[in-house]
A = this chain, B = another copy of it.
């Protein structure tokens, strides 16, 4: 039934271990039949959750075979207990899977600062492993969400020198109803054989252009994790700088990751719109990035989008408040194809009010200072965001 979500050599399963209330799935396992090349990027927050600290260490070897993930508890800010629980979770999965503990990665998402109910996890591992199947990825995707409104799974097939390869990714986002919950997690699986250094480079480039180019509320989690496993089961000649398949592989990988990233924003807390902020004509890419984030994280801009108000003064004001050097006379602002600010003054954009009613909107700022560009996706700021994040829960 879910044939399109299968990746050769990968099995998955998700079960309800009782961490979340209401019998929802909250424990997932991804298993590769053979050890896979592994690369990952993790939160740069100084307060890293215990599983993040553990994975950052293990992934240095560049090889992994399984990822065990729980939702409902972030195992973050949990001190020494947390470190032990993350290690126990890995060891228990390794034992039942019959593989080396070093090959198991761990991820958690949910409440910060509460002890992980490790017994609930360890006693569910037999069932979790017993149910592993090639069709299990949607079930894995279901077990990693907290209160996302929909599961996020994306697959692409590509032909590399005559061999078909598959890339599938799952993600959970910031669709959280209970406070103290947040985390972006994503796991990407491919059967392609890829040279390790090459995989690392391409993966990081794709992360920068997908998960690192979105913002819901500018708040960085303690648990953010993106891991890619490549098990080589497709039997292609390993993709590297010299081989012809690198461009195709990169394109397919970026497509999966970009779609997942957009899904996270669209499912962002209280989000009613997906807004693409495009900055062009910057002197440096860093300048374009600084302005893009300043606009995307401005509460005034975000609230205006929620209100469907083409309030361009807030957009240029957010750009002007950054440290980036530019001439206010050369800056141009468009919403979709409608110019709103040109030659240092506003332009009457009557159609802009109509455009603001769309559920996906592009904002273009041309700085006129150079040739560099940066784009990102953001959401609007709605009553629902406040409701979700102020609800009392302690």
Contacts and interface: CB of A to CB of B under 8 A. Distances in A.
B394 A309 contact: yes
Contacts of A297: 218
A394 B112 CA distance: 42
B394 A76 contact: no
Interface in A294-334: 297-300, 303-304, 306-314, 316-321, 326, 328
Contacts of A394: 309-311, 353
A381 B392 contact: no
A355 to B, nearest CB: 12
Interface string A151-179: 00000000000000000000000000001
B317 A385 contact: no
Interface in A75-95: 76-82
Q: Which of A112, A353, A390 gathers the greatest number of chain B CB atoms within 10 Å? A: A390
Given A45-B320, A307-B390, A345 B77 contact: yes
Contact of A392 (B45, B218, B308, B312): B308
Interface string A274-309: 000000000000000000000001111001101111
A47 B317 contact: yes
Nearest to A344: B79
A219 B77 contact: no
- Give the interface size bracket for A toward B: 35 or more
Nearest to A346: B113
Identify whether the interface residues of A are mostly helix, strand, loop, or mixed.
loop
B299 A389 contact: yes
A183 to B, nearest CB: 11
B79 A112 contact: no
* For the complex of A and B, 3 pairs with smallest distance between CB atoms: A307-B390, A112-B313, A79-B345
11 contacts: A47-B316, A81-B345, A112-B313, A113-B313, A113-B346, A179-B311, A180-B313, A219-B299, A219-B300, A219-B314, A299-B385
Given A112-B317, A113-B341, A303-B385, 14 more contacts: A46-B319, A47-B320, A77-B313, A82-B345, A113-B346, A114-B346, A179-B304, A179-B309, A180-B313, A218-B299, A219-B299, A220-B321, A222-B313, A311-B394
